[in-house]
Amino acid sequence: MTSTALTLFNSLTRQPEPFVPVHPGEARVYSCGPTVYNYPHIGNMRAYVFADVLGRVLTWKGYRLTHVINITDVGHLTDDADQGEDKMEKMAAARSQSIWDIAEHYTQAYWQDVAALNIRQPAQWTIATDYIDRMIAFAERIAPRHCYELDSGLYFDVSTVADYGRLARAHTDEGEGRIEAVEGKRNAADFAIWRKTPAGETRQMEWESPWGRGAPGWHLECSVMSGEVLGFPFDIHTGGIDHREIHHPNEIAQNQAFCDCGGLGEAANSGARIWMHNNFLVERSGKMSKSSGEFLRLQLLIDRGYHPLAYRMLCLQAHYRSELEFSWDGLGAALVRLKRLLTAARNVVDAAADGAALADAQAAVTHPKLTPLLEKFDAALSDDLNTPVALTVLEEAVAVKKVDAAQKGALVAAMLSALGLPLAEREALRIRPIAAQIGEDEIEAALTRRKAARADKDFALSDALRDELAAKGVEVMDGDPLGWEWKLG
Ligand code: AMP
Ligand code: ZN
């Protein structure tokens, strides 16, 4: 019944391509994970909502998914190229804390956001520092033919592989102007795969290697962890669109060197068949950054009273390849939409069917009003994960009348699961006034009294109650079609 073939946009070819798994029936996916020197901002979390949706769609299409996400706890410099300090070392020094404690704290914080956004657990979280020996072995294998040593480290010579920079659409001969030259580099785009600790210094994180004491380069880490766990070539590599410019071209060059592969006319030579990138979440004020002091964390949204799934909804409403602008109004609208959807879904989905798979829906859905919806939904997701369209089809399915209730329930449950929207109580989706000067019970009580006053046509009292709430930061909403009575002013 779900006849549409899955098509995904490959950044390497800049084209939509049919998904053809390397191992029949399986899908192996690697996602670049967070650098755990600070809390993730909600832009970072967009990358993982996207990767989660990709995983869920692969499951929906019947593939056995192996998803790996890494945790970068060493090696990511303050500049994506070779300049600057290690982000972890810098934060540890600023806080006078051990890197290991910093990494542990922010990894836990990231995992909390993962759970709050209903992002599924991957098959494996790979921690970069667990793979140091394999990084050294990988570097030893490619060094003789592809690397050279300078005082500051072991460098990868990008001219030794075919088609370097194709992913970024950059040409090495034009040079990458923004990369400051390290003395002795053969090409501007060459990058360190092992960074030696400068003589007379010690780093908190450093290891012995054939090139001296030091630490791995960030790009090396992802090549090693992805190849080690999934095997080259695997199916899909994901990351934010910034990784298309430096990090992923460098991973690809290393993978080509490691596999002794030719040019990138053959996508699998890159180490993965498909490279996918989510576009940025932006603020009107500019690019979101977690190295700046103040930034948008999921916890801030929660503190302002928004359920975290409202942010997931905001992400789903945009195509992952479109830039998405964050605004509090937009978040509020996403929450209303989520609430309308889940409140209605609660009434049609049998709790037992929550999290149902496509197979169940396919088997269950035969009603002539429901099968076209199933097909439309499948076609949307199969079209490079078109979640904005899939959401509207889900809303149609929730609203459809005069159909078999069990079939409708099974269909809605499967659709919710494909988008990662869990059934939730209406109560749980209320805006919670953590930041307001008044408790929820008090608001509810005032609203009940106000309702009674209006029924008695005592508009003076009704207005007084409204003003009282407004003084405490709560705006009363009359006539909301979903019966949502108030919001934080
Ligand atoms: P980082 O922890 O800096 O390595 O970033 C984690 C992930 O978030 C990477 O895949 C980045 O490409 C992605 N990312 C960073 N900023 C944004 C943003 N504003 N919107 C969407 N994704 C982002
Ligand atoms: Zn990576």
Give per-residue pLDDT as tens, 415-454.
999 999 988 766 677 655 555 567 777 887 898 899 899 9
Residue 70 β-bridge partners: 126
What is the predicted pLDDT for the residue at 326?
A: 95
Question: Which H or E run contains 312?
Answer: helix 308-316
Does pLDDT of 64 surpass 80? yes
Angle of CA points 481, 484, 486, to nearest 5°: 130
Residue (of 59, 44, 29) closest to 359 by Cα position: 59
Helix (H, G, I), strand (E, B) or coil at 246: coil
**Are the CB atoms for 111 and 34 separated by under 8 Å?**
no
From ligand 1's centre to the CA of 418, what distance in Å? 23
Phi, psi (rounded to 5 degrees) for 225: -65, -40
Helix (H), strand (E) counts: the chain:
15, 16
Does pLDDT of 354 surpass 60? no
Phi, psi (rounded to 5 degrees) for 149: -105, 135
**Paired sense of beta strands 15-18 and 7-10, if any:** antiparallel
What is the predicted pLDDT for the residue at 174?
A: 47
From ligand 2's centre to the CA of 283, what distance in Å? 24
In the chain, the largest separation of any two C-alpha atoms, in whole Å, equals 88
Helix (H, G, I), strand (E, B) or coil at 283: strand
**Paired sense of beta strands 214-216 and 15-18, if any:** unpaired
**Are the CB atoms for 314 and 336 separated by under 8 Å?**
no
Distance, CA of 369 to CA of 26 (rounded, Å): 32
Give per-residue pLDDT as tens, 1-45.
457 999 999 999 999 999 999 999 999 999 999 999 999 999 999
What is the residue whose two structure tokens read 């949204």?
A: 301
Full-model pTM: 0.89
Query: In the numeric block, which tokens belong to residue 328?
Result: 């509090």
Supply the residue whose CA is at minimum distance from atom 14 of ligand 1.
44
Give per-residue pLDDT as tens, 78-89.
776 666 778 888
Give per-residue pLDDT as tens, 133-174.
999 999 999 999 999 999 999 999 999 999 999 999 875 544
Angle of CA points 308, 310, 315, to nearest 5°: 105
Query: In the numeric block, which tokens belong to residue 252?
Result: 């690809």
Within its chain, how far is the Cα of 116 from the centroid? Answer: 13
Q: Which ligand is nearest to the CA of 279?
A: 1
Q: Which DSSP string do the residues of 386-420 spell out, in sequence order?
A: -HHHHHHHHHHHHH--SS-HHHHHHHHHHHHHHHT
Q: What is the mean pLDDT of the chain?
A: 89
CA distances from 296 to 249, 301, 320 (A): 29, 8, 19
CA distances from 86 to 89, 156, 249 (A): 5, 19, 20
More confident residue, 95 or 116: 116
Average confidence (pLDDT) over 299-317: 92
- Testing ligand 1's pocket by substitution, the residue of 44, 102, 251, 287 carrying the most ligand atoms inside 8 A of its CB is 44
Q: Which ligand is nearest to the CA of 35?
A: 1
Is residue 47 within 6 Å of ligand 1 at its C-beta? yes
Which residue type does 295 have? F
**Are the CB atoms for 11 and 236 separated by under 8 Å?**
no
Distance, CA of 38 to CA of 80 (rounded, Å): 16
**Paired sense of beta strands 486-488 and 474-476, if any:** antiparallel
Is residue 271 within 6 Å of ligand 1 at its C-beta? no
Directed axis angle between helix 132-146 and helix 218-230, to 10°? 110
Residue 149 β-bridge partners: 154
Distance, CA of 43 to CA of 30 (rounded, Å): 19
From ligand 2's centre to the CA of 147, what distance in Å? 20
What is the predicted pLDDT for the residue at 471?
A: 87
Give per-residue pLDDT as tens, 227-273.
999 999 999 999 999 999 999 999 999 999 999 999 999 999 999 99
CB atoms within 10 A of CB 43: 21
From ligand 1's centre to the CA of 88, what distance in Å? 16
What is the predicted pLDDT for the residue at 24?
A: 97
From ligand 1's centre to the CA of 319, what distance in Å? 16
More confident residue, 295 or 338: 338
- Measured between its terminal Cα atoms, the distance across the chain in Å is 48
Give per-residue pLDDT as tens, 106-121.
999 999 999 999 999 9
Distance, CA of 438 to CA of 464 (rounded, Å): 16
Does pLDDT of 191 surpass 90? yes
DSSP type of residue 206: -
Query: In the numeric block, which tokens belong to residue 409?
Result: 């329930």
What residues contact residue 21 under an 8 Å CB cut-off, 6+ apart?
27, 63, 235
What is the residue whose two structure tokens read 């001219």?
A: 159
Does pLDDT of 305 surpass 50? yes
What is the predicted pLDDT for the residue at 202?
A: 84
What residues contact residue 396 under an 8 Å CB cut-off, 6+ apart?
373
